[in-house]
Amino acid sequence: MNIKNLTTPILIIGLSIGFAIVGLGVYLTRGKSKFWISKKMLLGSLLISLTSVINQSCERFGTDCYDPAPPNEINLDNYDYSGKVDINIASENKITGILYDRSGEDFSFNITDTVGTDTIQVGDITPSDGKFDESTEDIYIEIDNNIPVGEYLLNLYITKQSEQDYPVSTYRLNVKNED
């Protein structure tokens, strides 16, 4: 670990402990001691200044503080955090989502059994407005109404249907048929 990366947290922790001790001094003197109040103001301003500089350090050096989204990241709307997508084909046969940082024109999917051996359906991922022309696109995947009820794997690709090799995302798909 770099010494700069280690000293800043230690300094913040030390200043915070000092601030707590001085705050206790202000409390015990019932706020009537100019000495304790001035020390509390000094340590508080140092803490605020230090954290302000730390929060802006990424921007000063021209880098992003957060990692940018990977290209062609697809997030589906109706999935839970375990990676499972539920769809009731009796009422809706479209899975919607968003494609971030799009690069390319061809996006496809396939639905396989949970082992990944039998392909149930293959199709294109379609932009909601009809064409891929934005860096962030609303998309949908149309599921066949005749797909049997059960659990499947939904594999998403950044290629044409005929060139599917390795999926960029895989979701568990739970197909229901409830009126």
- The reported pLDDT for the residue numbered 55 is 59
Report CA torsion sign: 160, 154, 156, 132: positive
Do the Cβ atoms of 126 and 138 come closer than 8 Å? Answer: no
Q: Bridge-partner residues for 98, per DSSP?
A: 75, 138
CA-CA distance, 48 to 42, in Å (whole number)? 10
- Helices marked H in the chain: 3-28, 34-60
- Is residue 39 in a domain? yes
Q: Is the pTM of this model over 0.75?
A: no
Token output for 119: 């392909």
Q: What was the pLDDT predicted at 42? A: 92
Q: Are residues 38 and 78 in the same domain?
A: no
Residues of the chain with pLDDT under 50: none
Residue 66 lies in a domain: no
pLDDT in tens, 120-167: 999 999 999 888 888 888 999 999 988 999 999 999 999 898 888 888
Q: Both 109 and 160 in a single domain?
A: yes
* Res 65: pLDDT: 59
136 and 87 together in one domain: yes
Token pair belonging to 20 = 């707590």
Domain residues for the domain of 97 are 73-176
Between CA 11 and CA 61 the distance in angstroms is: 22
The pLDDT score that the predictor gives to residue 68 is 62
Task: Classify residue 136: in a domain, yes or no.
Answer: yes
Tell me how many domains the chain contains.
Answer: 2
